[in-house]
Amino acid sequence: MFVNRKAPYGTIYAWESLEVVLIAAAFEQDVSMAFLDDGVYQLKKGHQTKSIGVKAFEKTFGALEDYDVTKLYVDQESLAERGLTADDLAVPVEVLPRAEMGKLMEEQDVLLSF
Amino acid sequence: MKFAILVNEGPYTHQASDTAFNFAKAVLAQGHSIFRVFFYHDGVNNATRLTTPPQDDRNIVDRWSKLGQGNELDMVVCVAAAQRRGIVDDGEMKRNGKDATNLAPGFRISGLGQLVEAGIQADRIVVFGD
């Protein structure tokens, strides 16, 4: 499971995390992604990055399905704290209460946090 | 136990690299093994031999080099992250038409597959980041 906690732009963590996800999927690993804290902004619809001169990668989330990466979990509290709901997100996700997210993390063989 | 270590921050700005180094030393001192240390994000900056800190400060790069060489650790720098940040070995210099190399001894540049493999092979992968 890849744990994403950072906003999509401003730092490169989100993009470089996505690069690892794609590689792991190419190695046919059982990949899932969790989005917590400002990481939930990574999935928000309508990235517009022209004015900051950075490549937008919203579309890459849409392509994850082609890599059989379909398990995307979003922390309910993180969404609520930011005034967001699942409808604001660019791809289908499973919204989980924080306690359940914790349990899910416990079940993972490998957790990589970015 | 077989550990893998992921270092996601560069030297000096963040504590992460220091903590990862101390952790690696402790792991070895306790008789465990380290399958691989993988440097990603700004962590690749731990691998430039051109680092020259003030004399009264620790040399984070040399320290990693010595630990790696002394214990035959596999210290891998992500190629994509390295290219972005100008960490260059002989192969990368030729491939990208650069005029210099700066990869410190004990490190090698390779792909993200090495990180995935470390996650699979190690009993524990421990992430040091911000």
A55–B contact, CB cutoff 8 A: no
Facing residue for A113 by CB, picked from B80, B115, B127: B127
Q: Each residue of A28-52: pLDDT tens digit?
A: 999 999 999 999 999 999 999 999 9
Q: Domain containing B36 — which CATH number? A: 3.40.1260.10
Owner of token pair 């004990």: B106
β-pair type (A71-75, A32-35) = parallel
Ordered by start, the domain boundaries in chain A are: 2-113
Facing residue for B41 by CB, picked from A13, A23, A109: A13
Average pLDDT value for residue range A23-31: 96
A29–B contact, CB cutoff 8 A: yes
Three-class SS string for chain B?
A: CEEEEEECCCCCCCCHHHHHHHHHHHHHHCCCEEEEEEECHHHHHHHECCCCCCCCCCCHHHHHHHHHHHCCCCEEEEHHHHHHHCCCCHHHHHHCCCCCCCECCCEEEECCHHHHHHHHHCCEEEEECC
Q: Each residue of B39-92: pLDDT tens digit?
A: 999 999 999 999 999 999 999 999 999 999 999 999 999 999 999 999 999 999
| In the predicted structure, residue B17 carries a pLDDT above the cut 90 | yes
The number of distinct structural domains making up chain B is 1
Facing residue for B116 by CB, picked from A13, A23, A109: A23
Backbone angles phi, psi at A53, to 5 degrees: 65, 30
- With a pLDDT cut of 70, the percent of chain A lying above it is 100
A27–B contact, CB cutoff 8 A: yes
Which helix or strand (DSSP H or E) is residue A107 part of? helix A98-107
**Domain around B74:** 2-128
pLDDT range class, residue A97, cuts 50, 70, 90: very high
User: Are the C-beta atoms of residues B106 and B65 closer than 8 Å to each other?
Assistant: yes
Q: Residue B130: its pLDDT value, please?
A: 85
This prediction has a pTM of: 0.93
CATH for A2-113?
A: 3.40.1260.10
CA distance B56 to chain A (A): 31
Q: Residue B75: its pLDDT value, please?
A: 98
Q: Collect all residues of chain B within an 8 Å Cβ-Cβ radius of residue A19.
A: 80, 112
Q: Residue B109: its pLDDT value, please?
A: 98
Q: Each residue of A53-88: pLDDT tens digit?
A: 999 999 999 999 999 999 999 999 999 999 999 999
Q: Residue A58: its pLDDT value, please?
A: 95
